[in-house]
Structure 1
Amino acid sequence: MRIAISSDNHLDINHVNAEDILGPQARYLRELGVALYVNTGDTYNDFRKTRKYFHALQEVLGPSTDVRFLAGNHDMLRGANYATIQGLQDPLYLHERSFVPPASPETVIVGNNGWYDYSFVGTTATDNPDYYWHWKKAFWVDSTIDQPGSDQERMQRELEYMRIFLRAHAHTGQKILFVSHFVPEVQLLPPAMLQDPRGAKLAAMLGSQRMGDLLQEFHVDAAAYGHWHRRDQPRTVGTTTFYHCPVGYGTQRRAEWTSPYFMTEWRNTLTVIDL
């Protein structure tokens, strides 16, 4: 089964008109023979626009390719409260769900938006999180996102749901692809980043090592994520091969592209996996 994965398209920040790209994206996915297209989040700064876009893409693709999406932190900024982000019943929304493609029952995709708990910067941060919490509230874009409780409590909920779905497929013989928006393994970050005081503040908000530990516990075959705007080669840690190649920002202020064109960047960063 051929799966294509993209992340961090940031269509609004990149000034992309969705109507201009739906057709070209659908044609390219068909040319590649993609059976499932998964986007791991940060499509718009408004969850309503994100949902509308992926349903429009599914309509253009028709039954040849299934579309699934997650919400990144940018999608959560507007257009949905915490209850909606967590509990939305939308057939394309993969958060806290698993999906077994009808044409490939030997494969299962487990989805979770993820979150962060400061565990990438060590036990000092997790035992005494107030410093990072206050820094987040003062400087981080996520400070406006609706959530009850702490970041650690939010991450704990996600871990509990992850465990339910991973356990359900652990002894079925299926190949597991786990998809999330946030970084799932500290070894995917450069050590210098964690040793730098400014870098550590960023790393605290990138993901959770407890997520990576869970993937290893259940011997997950592959995992894809986004959030951190650095294009990486696939990397294997333990039993899991990790995929991370975001589109990122193509603006004058934040120039992360190698060309001036969104479709070129989307094609060049599209991760294609045969499971």
Structure 2
Amino acid sequence: MGKLAVISDLHADINHLNEELYFIRDYLESLNVTHLHFAGDVANKVDKTLEVVYFFDQKIDTTFHWGNHEMADIDKQTNFEDFNDPHFLNFQSKKLSDSTVLLGVNGWYDYSFVPRAEEKEYRRKKNLYWYDRFIDRIGSDPQITEYICRRLKETLQTIPDTKKVILSTHFVPKEDFIIQHSEKYERWNQLNAFLGSKKFGAVLDEFTNVEQVVFGHTHHRFTKQMLQQTVYHCRPFGYYYEWYLTRSFILKNHLADTFNPLKARTLLKHYTNAFAEYKKRYILNELQEGMVLLDY
């Protein structure tokens, strides 16, 4: 028996994780984690991502695949899906035990989580305000997703159906994890276009040995859900201004009457040292909510 930890959306740079990385690594060791996988958005830069991966790999066997944030730092097309690093797990499986493998797939999106989305219009929206406008990648988003889904299916077909598959991806594979806003927040639904793909989830439905799927990107944490034959887990670590510990810091210190993540960044600039100490003290509490642990 072993224990797999999957962390999505660590954002080590944005979250200013330094000493905290030692706390996290020591904590995972104390839990007897035998394999750690980062499901994308470890950092904004490839070099920083590799630095974090290698740091954890010193103590725990560690793999990773990209999220959209690292992709903005990629300048060679083959590095999106076939990056040359022994820790990179994309369209490749890692043997966890005689009966279980971990399969990593970056994933992508095709606007399918927005009803009747026009490709031209959402490409314009993406290039106007979405982070991924910085990603220099050949092909339209639906074309990229089509390629990824085809390759996903081909990869799963190579895995014997007697093997249990734990699949990690960055983007959202099921509409059940898409939040539909209403009234004054309804315009936020446009962003659902860039969260994932229904087609990706449909491919997973074809393979009964895909028992667990872990993903992030949405920055919303959900309880696990059984969809058809597969259990889906979405518990991203997320940005510091979204954390429970940040909410606690602001409200306990009466810095605001209510917690608003969009205003937290500006507010915390006035309490940098105090928040840094609070973060060190409670970072493991946040980690417990923002990662997935699976026995295998």
Measured against the shorter chain, the TM-score band is 0.7 to 0.9
**Are residues 87 and 244 of structure 1, via their aligned partners in 2, closer, same or farther at CA, if it must alter by over 3 Å?**
same
Amino acid at match of 1:29: L
Alpha carbons 2:181, 2:189 under 8 Å: kept: no
- 1:14 equivalent in structure 2: 15
Amino acid at match of 1:256: W
- 1:202 equivalent in structure 2: 191
- Structure 2: how far apart are the matches of 1:263 and 1:54? 18
- 2:72 equivalent in structure 1: 77
- 1:211 equivalent in structure 2: 200
- Structure 1: how far apart are the matches of 2:293 and 2:187? 34
- Structure 1: how far apart are the matches of 2:145 and 2:81? 12
- Structure 1: how far apart are the matches of 2:63 and 2:90? 9
After TM superposition, the structure 1 stretch with the greater mean CA deviation from structure 2, 265-274 or 78-87, is 78-87
Q: Determine which structure has more spread, i.e. the larger CA radius of gyration.
A: 2
After TM superposition, the structure 1 stretch with the greater mean CA deviation from structure 2, 262-271 or 6-15, is 262-271
String of CA shifts for 1:189-235, please: whole Å, max 9, x gaps. 23447xx7523311110000001111111122110001011111111
The normalised TM-score by structure 1 is: 0.88
Aligned length: 258
Match of 1:160 among 150, 172, 195: 150
Structure 2: gaps (5+ residues): 247-277
Deviation (angstroms), 1:268: 3.4
- Structure 2: how far apart are the matches of 1:176 and 1:98? 9
- 1:176 equivalent in structure 2: 165
- 1:240 equivalent in structure 2: 230
**Are residues 144 and 115 of structure 1, via their aligned partners in 2, closer, same or farther at CA, if it must alter by over 3 Å?**
same
Deviation (angstroms), 1:270: 2.4
- 2:23 equivalent in structure 1: 24
- Structure 2: how far apart are the matches of 1:168 and 1:187? 28
Match of 1:111 among 86, 104, 114: 104
Alpha carbons 1:97, 1:165 under 8 Å: kept: yes
- 2:292 equivalent in structure 1: 271
- Structure 1: how far apart are the matches of 2:46 and 2:195? 20
Deviation (angstroms), 1:100: 1.2
String of CA shifts for 1:229-253, please: whole Å, max 9, x gaps. 11111111111111111111113xx
String of CA shifts for 1:56-100, please: whole Å, max 9, x gaps. 2102x0xxx321111111112225443222221211111221111
Give the CA RMSD over aligned residues. 1.8
- Structure 2: how far apart are the matches of 1:24 and 1:79? 30
The normalised TM-score by structure 2 is: 0.82
- Structure 2: how far apart are the matches of 1:144 and 1:22? 28
Alpha carbons 1:40, 1:70 under 8 Å: kept: yes
Alpha carbons 1:248, 1:256 under 8 Å: kept: yes
- 1:2 equivalent in structure 2: 3
Alpha carbons 1:86, 1:95 under 8 Å: kept: yes
- Structure 1: how far apart are the matches of 2:292 and 2:244? 16
Alpha carbons 1:48, 1:79 under 8 Å: kept: no
Partner-residue secondary structure (3-state), 2:53: helix
Between the two proteins, what is the percent identity of the paired residues? 31
Amino acid at match of 2:43: Y
Question: What are the residue-to-residue correspondences of 1:212-231 with 2, within 5 Å?
Answer: 212-219=201-208, 220-231=210-221
Structure 1: gaps (5+ residues): none
Amino acid at match of 1:237: L
